[in-house]
Amino acid sequence: MNIKDLRNKSNKELHKILAQTRAEVKDLQFKTSNKQLKNLRQLRMKKREVARILTAINNPIIAKTEKPDADKPSAKQVSQAKTKA
């Protein structure tokens, strides 16, 4: 999956894909340790895919940003309330 595909996904979808991909990485690592995996490049590619997904999640320009809840205060509001108290 490339970054163009990830741009069209919501944060919830990205987290779901991330969990699946991490499970695949763990499975490939297990197969590697048991010498069952012939193509070690698969593991490398899955790790890169995890990195791409994390980049899409952490970069608000790439990922579709979800609107924050109106009833939740922003981080700035919380810090201002702490300094006033």
In CATH, the number for domain 3-84 is 1.10.287
pLDDT tier for residue 6 given thresholds of 50, 70 and 90: confident
Short-list 15, 75, 67, 21, CA closest to 48: 21
The pLDDT score that the predictor gives to residue 36 is 92
Distance CA 64, CA 50 (A): 18
Predicted confidence (pLDDT) per residue in 16-66, tens digit = 999 999 999 999 999 999 999 889 999 999 999 999 999 999 886 654 555
pTM of the model: 0.66
